[in-house]
Amino acid sequence: MNRIAAFAAPILLAFTTAAGAQQGPGQHPPLLLNGDTVAVVRSDQAGTLSLPKGTPPFPAVILMHGCGGVTQNMNVWAQRLRSWGYAALILDSFAPRGIDNVCGKIGKFPPRERAKDAFAAAAWLRARPEIDPARIGLIGFSHGGSTALAASVTRRVTALDAEPFKAVVAYYPFCPEIALDLASDVQVLIGSDDDWTPAGRCMKWLPHYADASVHKPLLKIYPGAVHAFDARAPSRIYFGHHLEFAAGAAGDSFEITRQFLGSHLNPITPHE
């Protein structure tokens, strides 16, 4: 079964008058619920696509979750992207495969293999009339961030006969140790105190690229921030690692991401 064919938009209730509905002063007509106004979001489908306000075709951004699967933070990001003028596609690499998580067992589903999902999703988006096929970006988080980096490597793009992403943002990825030829512009955002995906790896990785590199990665390290600093949730230990929201780092990273995407995808709506 084609996993990408299972996409559906989030539940949408259209405030439309039902045929024959009686209206009176101060009364609201009932909602019209049908196949055009409600989409069933199943737990086993490959993704959820939502569109911004405005006139299509829209630029689009694919969101790739971390090792624990789709979280509420992905929904928050989708809403944020829509407010910036992008169609947002939350891609679930795990549920359709019956995978719970790959935390602590990355070899179960390596980012380089998962990158195929990102390209399949982009191909699906390009075939949709609401999407501008020339303006598609990718954002990944943790395992998804490492996947986003894997999807930016030229040899992988070539091997899959895929089109490079116009912009790639990797939140707290596990940076590679060597410089790989990149086909996309990349922005990495990570905390200095991340004990799961160390910022030091990214610091050692970046100098391998000459300043004149066509796709030299950009790196922003947030002092004191740890893993999942962008996700508004209580401080916690997850699989032995410290996760905590950092308001200052999060806010700055959102603005950097907005500007980075804007410079490559040209959103059609103003600042949030």
Q: Domain locations in the chain?
A: 42-265
Q: Which of 144, 121, 139, 138 is nearest to 67 (CA)?
A: 144
pLDDT score recorded for residue 16:
30
Cβ proximity of 41 and 8 under 8 Å:
yes
pLDDT score recorded for residue 140:
98
pLDDT score recorded for residue 104:
87
* Domain range 42-265, CATH class: alpha beta
143 vs 147: CA distance, rounded Å: 6
**Could you identify the residue written with the tokens 């000459």?**
210
State how far Cα 2 lies from the chain centre.
Answer: 21
With a CB cutoff of 8 Å and minimum separation 6, the contacts of 213 are: 182
Kind plus residue range of the DSSP H or E element containing 267: none
19 vs 31: CA distance, rounded Å: 10
pLDDT score recorded for residue 18:
33
pLDDT tens track, the chain, 272 positions = 444 444 444 433 232 333 333 445 557 777 777 777 666 777 778 999 999 999 999 999 999 999 999 999 999 999 999 999 999 999 999 999 999 999 988 889 999 999 999 999 999 999 999 999 999 999 999 999 999 999 999 999 999 999 999 999 999 999 998 988 999 999 999 999 999 999 999 999 999 898 878 899 999 999 999 999 999 999 999 999 999 999 999 999 999 999 999 999 998 554 44
263 vs 258: CA distance, rounded Å: 9
60 vs 165: CA distance, rounded Å: 11
pLDDT score recorded for residue 135:
98
Q: Which of 69, 49, 53, 65 is nearest to 4 (CA)?
A: 49
- pTM for the full predicted model: 0.87
